Chains A and B, each alone.
Chain A
Amino acid sequence: MTGWAVVASWDVRAALRDRWLWALAVAFGSMTLAASAVALSGLRVVGLSSFDRAAAALVHLSMLFVPLLGLVLGGLWIAGERESGALDFLLAQPLDRRVLYAGRYLGLAGAVTGATWLGYGTAGVVLAWGAGTDRLPAFLWLVFLSTLLGLSSLSVGLAISATAANRGRALGAALLVWLALTVLTDLGVLASAVALRLPAAVVLALAAANPVSAFRMAALAVVTRTPELLGPVGMVAIDRLGATGTAVALSGVLVVWAAGGLGLGLRRFLQGSGP
């Protein structure tokens, strides 16, 4: 087995023992299960199918849970192990720093993706049972986009961890970034749009720069048949690019965040850990 595969496989094993990760995965799974069940059994809302209601609920749950998982898990790694001294054990091994970082990223990505799929798995079973499988492609899009959101959050979390002086600061910064991405940025864009009377295309670009907003717009564009759920900015996007085009373009935003975070984190890691 090559170095990165050794590191990744040990990290997946470690993740399986992580009670915090299990707690979050089970909480996410329970909430997706509950949201799907309620959406399927609830009264029919005008213009929304039961699948659309369930999908919209899943999108909003994922917006909160998946970035939290990626940011915190990534945020604690380097700073936590540096603080405890355990990082020196790995760094003293005959392993290239880039290989170690890549292996760790892949291992943690496996953990974040596993937890996300666990949540979607439970919802998927309920949806297939209650609403049939004709919307399976839309559901798979949602899983794909959530996975990308998890990977981009993890990259940012690792970059925070490589930069932070200690575990406490890394965790604080990860939670602050989570709050900014899930709540503050959208509020800021909304306030700017109103105050500055920004054109819709500019508002769209500003909103799309936030990976969580990009995920929300991409997911709602592709999984629901009700563009009104996207709001005026999302409707501009669909109007210009179509639903699939919007989802693909916004997936690109998530990929850029994942790659950018990974590159920045690796750079900081190499600077801070010697040759």
Chain B
Amino acid sequence: MIAWRDVTVRYKGQAVLRSVSLEVPGGQKLALVGPNGAGKTTLLRTLVGLVPYSGTVLVDGVDARARPVEARRRVGYVPQLVAFPPHLTAGEVVALAQELRGLPPDPAPVLQAAGLGPHGRKRVGELSGGMLRRLGVAVAQLGDPPVLVLDEPTSYLDREGEAWLVHWLRSAAGRTVVVASHQLRGLDRLVDRVVLLDAGRVVADVAAEDLRRLHWVEVVAVPSELPDLPEEVRVLARSNGALHLRVPDHRLREVLEILDQRAVRVHEPEPEELIREVLG
């Protein structure tokens, strides 16, 4: 369980978070979405004590300010920019994190599970962005923390990496998971709940299931001939030369790939557009 109660964060006199109160029950997967600068990263950083805040933050029932070490022991945190001390190899990063969590250093199985088995002896500076992110996720899971927090997890990941992340998120059953992202693309299929943050405030809180019914894609520049699309895709509206398509959730990736292959310019809705539709 995670609870933020009346949490405010100020940076250089500006409020980055404004009295945020939000509870994530144990075992729930939550997507925290919103535009850049909404305060998503800051909210996640309060869990591991990376920013000073006012209010109360509880991690699995532990007050993150009163007992910060205990709170951090319960959180696996993958930051937006995954970085490790550059002189360490991937294996050493895992071993160091294991030792800091009081575990015996044994990096090989951890690296293997993250698909980084052959890269254990590479310095972190030699790893690609995707590999670093996998390493970050692997390190965050050490000691089986009940809470997992991922900030923009799909950055730097290729298709294979995204598939691995989807598999990993699905397998994180029983854990409380919070994923922050500025895009909703596909994320609503992996979580139970979506919270929209804007200008440091929670502005919407909806069930992911409600969002999944609503996917649409806008074809901005309509070509003379639209490529063949799956039958379930329906044209919702035409306006100013643009097409508004409703796409079933399970067909979304396929449709986007087809349109992309034909170089058809599309506009995917921002999370807030979808959420506002849900809220009517």
Q: Which residues of A lie under 8 Å from residue B51 when comparing CB positions? A: 274
Q: Which residues of A lie under 8 Å from residue B96 when comparing CB positions? A: 6, 10
Q: Which residues of B lie under 8 Å from residue A88 when comparing CB positions? A: 50, 79, 83
8 Å CB interface, A1-22 against B: 1, 3, 6-7, 10, 14, 17-18
B8 vs chain A, min Cβ distance (A) = 14
* Interface assignment of A48: CB less than 8 Å from any CB of chain B: no
B99 vs chain A, min Cβ distance (A) = 5
* Interface assignment of A89: CB less than 8 Å from any CB of chain B: yes
**How many Å lie between the Cα of A6 and that of B102 in the bound state?**
10
8 Å CB interface, A135-185 against B: none
The residue that A92 contacts in the complex, of B48, B65, B88, with Cβ under 8 A, is B48
Contact B87 A18 (CB under 8 A): yes
Q: Which residue of A lies closest to B68 (CB)?
A: A275
- Which candidate, B69-77, B155-163, B165-173, is the interface stretch facing chain A? B69-77
**How many Å lie between the Cα of A221 and that of B68 in the bound state?**
49
* Interface assignment of A226: CB less than 8 Å from any CB of chain B: no
* Interface assignment of B100: CB less than 8 Å from any CB of chain A: yes
Interface string of B170-189 (1 = CB under 8 A from A): 00000000000000000000
B45 vs chain A, min Cβ distance (A) = 8
The residue that A86 contacts in the complex, of B49, B65, B75, B83, with Cβ under 8 A, is B83
8 Å CB interface, A69-102 against B: 81, 84-86, 88-96
Q: Chain B's interface: helix, strand, loop or mixed, by majority?
A: loop
**How many Å lie between the Cα of A7 and that of B65 in the bound state?**
23
**How many Å lie between the Cα of A164 and that of B158 in the bound state?**
36
Contact A86 B52 (CB under 8 A): no
B128 vs chain A, min Cβ distance (A) = 16
Contact A95 B100 (CB under 8 A): yes
The residue that B87 contacts in the complex, of A3, A14, A94, A273, with Cβ under 8 A, is A14
Take A89-B85, A92-B72 as given contacts and tell me if A274 and B100 are in contact as well, using a CB distance cutoff of 8 Å. no
Take A91-B50, A274-B50, A275-B65 as given contacts and tell me if A3 and B100 are in contact as well, using a CB distance cutoff of 8 Å. yes
A1, A6, A84, A93 — which one has the most chain B CB atoms within 10 A of its CB? A93
* Interface assignment of B90: CB less than 8 Å from any CB of chain A: no
8 Å CB interface, B71-128 against A: 72-73, 75, 77, 79, 81-88, 92-93, 96-97, 99-101
Q: Which residues of B lie under 8 Å from residue A86 when comparing CB positions? A: 83-86
8 Å CB interface, A83-128 against B: 84-86, 88-96
* Interface assignment of B16: CB less than 8 Å from any CB of chain A: no
Q: Which residue of A lies closest to B9 (CB)?
A: A274
Q: Which residues of B lie under 8 Å from residue A1 when comparing CB positions? A: 99
A271 vs chain B, min Cβ distance (A) = 8
* Interface assignment of B64: CB less than 8 Å from any CB of chain A: yes
A19 vs chain B, min Cβ distance (A) = 10
Q: Which residue of A lies closest to B93 (CB)?
A: A89
The residue that B83 contacts in the complex, of A18, A89, A274, A275, with Cβ under 8 A, is A89
Contact A275 B79 (CB under 8 A): no
Take A6-B96, A14-B88, A17-B87 as given contacts and tell me if A95 and B50 are in contact as well, using a CB distance cutoff of 8 Å. no
Take A6-B96, A93-B101, A94-B100 as given contacts and tell me if A85 and B83 are in contact as well, using a CB distance cutoff of 8 Å. yes
Q: Supply 8 A–B pairs (Cβ within 8 Å), ascending by A.
A: A6-B100, A10-B99, A84-B83, A88-B79, A90-B100, A94-B101, A273-B49, A274-B50
What residues make up the interface of A, taking CB atoms closer than 8 Å to B?
A: 1, 3, 6-7, 10, 14, 17-18, 81, 84-86, 88-96, 273-275
